[in-house]
């Protein structure tokens, strides 16, 4: 009788393997289509693998307690010729999970059980990608490769698009030199020291799992308060002051994970992003929770000008626990800023725009000026709930600008 494989299915997005917990049927048992036959466990949940069609369990090729990749053959079913034909299998057709071999080779003994139970890799089905699907990049670099990269001032991230020709897809020195030779055929321009510094900071930041939550808020009251104030605070300063007050009430969201400890900040020193020539600088307002909004305006404006001139004093750089960025100045309504490597959170503010808002008292829609607040955070330290509560508190404080 024809045999077909029982294959470890794709059990969820990003799931690459699963561990066999138990077998729900034994060799010789008759099973129905979609009947659960194996219980498995992933790093997210326990679930069952079902039979692809009716048949008799011929053998299991795997062991309980061991892990197997998605696509690995777990065992075989003996099925009728009619069932094999319905599935598009015959004596000469390839069997799924059988490495493209015909169905007959699954029963003629030419391949051992050990070969079938290998933790097979899944072949990519997407074609035409800008970067080859098998390009793992320079995940392993020999001392010779590292020396050559250091000589040229390159990082592993710069080689992420190279499809290696070495063992297990490793990028060899020959691959590297070919990559460099191809680069020299393109138009090249030197990167400024500022751009290189920003690139290095973002590369280090991206080694962490980052996430973003957002909340639209009405800023009409804030704009009215700003209009009546002299000197006038910038919109980002309102957000900065609200963030500082919220963190003074609970500094844990700004803590950093070091090993198995959360390091809480000693002071509420908050930075704000300023676009400079070919990069971004982050001046810092020290003790932003201890001074009211009105007292921060002059220092804020001074630091903005010094940052644009790239003349920030040492006492206004570094050591901040969070950053505020007003991407609304570029006309953007939504963005996902990346926290600096030494920080856990970054608060963003989008451009205000008129939108209809339902007024319960008037029983009709009225125009309001709305802006999006975003909070990007290190997911190792914060979860969505804590980030959402922090963002809601910031929004509430910005809704009462006279108290800032």
Q: What structural domains does the chain harbor?
A: 3-116 (2.40.50.100), 143-188 (4.10.320), 206-403 (3.30.559.10)
Residue labelled with tokens 């795997």 = 62
- Residue ranges of the alpha helices (H) in 250-339? 293-308
Among 174-178, 208-212, 286-290, 347-351, the least confident range: 174-178
Question: Region 57-76: what's the mean pLDDT?
Answer: 89
Handedness of CA 325, 330, 331, 332 (dihedral sign): negative
Contact between 268 and 249 (Cβ < 8 Å): no
Mind listing the pLDDT tens digit for each residue in 44-61? 567 889 988 899 999 999
In the chain, % of residues over pLDDT 90 = 37
> Whole-model pTM?
0.60
Lowest mean per-residue pLDDT among 106-120, 226-240, 278-292, 381-395: 106-120
Q: What does the alpha-carbon distance between residue 217 and residue 345 come to, in Å, rounded to a whole number? A: 19
What pLDDT, on a 0 to 100 scale, did the predictor assign at position 317? 85
Rounded Cα distance between 200 and 188, Å, is: 19
15-19, 156-160, 244-248: which range is least confident on average? 156-160
Please state which of the ranges 13-27, 54-68, 70-84 shows the lowest mean pLDDT.
13-27
Cα 210 from chain centre? 6
Would you state the pLDDT for residue 215?
Answer: 94
- Residue whose C-alpha is closest to residue 393's, from 287, 284, 251: 251
User: DSSP of 361-403, one letter per residue?
Assistant: TTTEEEEEEEEEEEEEEETTT--HHHHHHHHHHHHHHHT-GGG
The per-residue pLDDT for range 110-166, each reduced to its tens digit, is: 444 444 444 443 433 444 444 444 444 445 566 777 777 777 777 776 766 676 666
Q: For residue 92, name the pLDDT band (cuts at 50, 70, 90).
A: very low
């Amino acid at each position: 009788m024809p045999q077909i494989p029982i294959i470890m299915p794709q059990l969820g997005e990003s799931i690459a393997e699963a561990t066999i917990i138990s077998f729900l049927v034994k060799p010789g048992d008759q099973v129905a289509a979609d009947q659960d036959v194996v219980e498995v466990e992933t790093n997210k949940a326990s679930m069952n693998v079902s039979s692809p069609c009716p048949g008799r369990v011929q053998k299991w090729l795997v062991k309980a307690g061991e892990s197997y990749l998605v696509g690995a053959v777990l065992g075989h079913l003996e099925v009728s010729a009619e069932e094999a034909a319905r599935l598009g299998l015959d004596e000469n057709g390839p069997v799924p999970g059988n490495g493209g071999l015909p169905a007959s080779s699954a029963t003629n003994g030419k391949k051992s059980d050990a070969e079938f139970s290998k933790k097979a890799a899944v072949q990519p089905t997407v074609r035409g990608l800008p970067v080859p699907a098998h390009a793992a990049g320079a995940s392993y670099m020999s001392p010779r490769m590292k020396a050559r990269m250091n000589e040229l001032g390159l990082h592993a991230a710069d080689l992420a698009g190279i499809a290696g020709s070495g063992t297990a897809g490793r990028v060899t020195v020959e691959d590297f030199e070919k990559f460099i030779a191809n680069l020299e055929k393109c138009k090249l321009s030197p990167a400024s020291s500022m751009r290189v510094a920003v690139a290095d900071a973002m590369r280090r930041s991206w080694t962490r799992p980052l996430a973003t939550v957002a909340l639209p808020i009405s800023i009409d009251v804030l704009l009215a308060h700003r209009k009546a104030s002299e000197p006038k605070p910038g919109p980002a300063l309102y957000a900065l002051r609200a963030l500082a007050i919220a963190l003074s009430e609970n500094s844990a969201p700004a803590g950093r994970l070091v090993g198995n400890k959360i390091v809480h900040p000693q002071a509420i020193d908050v930075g704000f992003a300023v676009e400079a020539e070919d990069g971004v600088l982050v001046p810092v307002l020290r003790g932003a929770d201890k001074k009211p909004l009105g007292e921060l305006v002059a220092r804020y404006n001074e630091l903005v000008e010094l940052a644009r001139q790239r003349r920030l004093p040492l006492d206004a750089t570094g050591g901040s626990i969070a950053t505020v960025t007003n991407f609304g100045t570029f006309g953007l309504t939504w963005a996902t800023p990346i926290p600096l490597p030494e920080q856990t959170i970054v608060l963003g503010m989008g451009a205000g725009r008129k939108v209809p808002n339902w007024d319960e008292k008037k029983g009709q829609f009225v125009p309001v000026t709305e802006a999006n607040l975003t909070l990007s955070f290190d997911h190792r330290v914060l979860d969505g709930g804590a980030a959402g509560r922090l963002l809601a508190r910031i929004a509430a404080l910005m809704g009462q600008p006279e108290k800032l």
